[in-house]
Amino acid sequence: MSAVTDDAAAAMDAVQRRLMFEDECILVDEQDNVVGHESKYNCHLMENIESRNVLHRAFSVFLFNSKYELLLQQRSATKVTFPLVWTNTCCSHPLYRESELVEENFLGVRNAAQRKLFDELGIPAEDVPVDRFTPLGRMLYKAPSDGKWGEHEVDYLLFVVADVKLLPNPDEVADVKYVNREQLKELLEKADAGDEGVKLSPWFRLVVDNFLTKWWDCVESGTLPEVADMNTIHKLV
């Protein structure tokens, strides 16, 4: 480990440090073909993203309750990338392991989503069976977090409607709340105005600006499968 790496690692929370160095993300090309694997640490260094075009697979879960309210989380203060920003229900990465590399019916990504919903929010697997996730699309985006860290992902957008038990993990999540459409609009307005220090994750904002209104309509009408398009990778960079 280099001195620079040592310094960066020493500054991390112990839980985040373990995840950064032990988790192996799935490297992909811009067509989402698997080309290798790399530590979470190396995948999120802007130096690697810019110089080597390191791109990894990710997912974003949008969980709605039976009142069609969207569950949001505020990322913990100890997160290495985008601490304390508000975002969709759960955002993470399938890992380079057999169960999360399964391509058929996007099962690997669904398995990863189920795992992280429990890790971050304490949602039991039985509340979110993998076959309940509806993959709606993929987007490719790049977003710096600060001068050192950032994201460069092919992000699978997974929607699920379920009433769930919540027990947020404080190492991952600072706060949670369900919002209806009007409450989300108010949150967006606060973020745009810089009120109350509200910030949104860039990937969440991309989904809000490009897809969410139509897809929320489909959540309420029970027609999500009709708008799914997993053949297209939307390049929103």
Catalytic residue check, 91: yes
Catalytic residue check, 103: no
The one catalytic residue among 91, 100, 120, 151:
91
Distances (CA, A) of 194 to 84, 151, 191, 236: 14, 22, 5, 23
The one catalytic residue among 100, 151, 153, 172:
153
User: Which residues participate in catalysis according to the annotation?
Assistant: 91, 153
